[in-house]
Amino acid sequence: QVQLVQSGAEVKTPGASVTVSCKASGHTFAGYYIHWVRQAPGQGLEWVGWVKANSGETTYAQRFQGRVTMTRDTSFSTTYLELTSLTSDDTAVYYCVREDRGMFDPWGQGTLVTVSS
Amino acid sequence: QSALTQPASVSGSPGQSITISCTGTSGDIGAYNYVSWYQQHPGKVPKLIIHGVTNRPSGASNRFSGAKSGNTAFLIISGLQAEDEADYYCNSYTGRTYVFGTGTKVTVL
């Protein structure tokens, strides 16, 4: 079955950068879009952007433009989210999720990123 | 892109039906039929329950149904059960990007 497994929790200081990985198994990696969604503590879901697994094409939410980079390594069926210039507002659980015709499924288990001095 | 608007909370008694609205604009919900809904229990990963406005994926309860009218989408939960107590989020395609709703907490009385 299709599964997305994310890297472990991260603790960063303000101004630092973080990279979260998402490894896919059980499906043809290259055929899909992988999205990143984040959820701050006690808050709702926020769409961050997507990377197309075969071409590496990306689209980001406007509020993250200039601070976010999504990449993929087809050899390892893995996508990466890099977020720079971190502030405490970036403290959240970051999810990767496969998208197909508007369906977000399955989801990774989530990676908690904590930004604290 | 502003978040889609959902009521903060909806409640109902067991066995009742409830409806959650999700209001967007002519550039998202009004323009595309790529509206989906997600259920999230506390501390858990979101789960897809409706896609393409009205379609239920395999594994989702048939007590969940979806609809759309103009710029507003709806999630209907019929025969409310205790296990339905959770947060619910809508999502829409906006043309290259996507946007989530503000989220609705469903309480079973």
**Cβ neighbours of A49 in B, within 8 Å:** 97
Reduced to 3 states, what is the DSSP secondary structure of residue B18? Answer: strand
At A75 the pLDDT is 85
Mean pLDDT, to the nearest integer, of B22-51?
A: 97
Omega before A106 within 30 of 0, i.e. cis: yes
At A29 the pLDDT is 73
Q: Which of A45, A46, A59 sits opposite B97 (nearest CB)?
A: A59
How much helix, strand and coil, in percent to the nearest 5, is found in chain B? 5, 50, 50
Chain A positions with Cβ closer than 8 Å to B? 35, 37, 44-47, 49-50, 59, 61-62, 95, 99, 101-105, 107-110
Would you say residue A7 has pLDDT above 80? yes
Q: Given the structure tokens 């094409």, which residue do they identify?
A: A57
User: Using one digit for the tens of pLDDT, what is the confidence trace for A37-53?
Assistant: 999 999 999 999 999 99
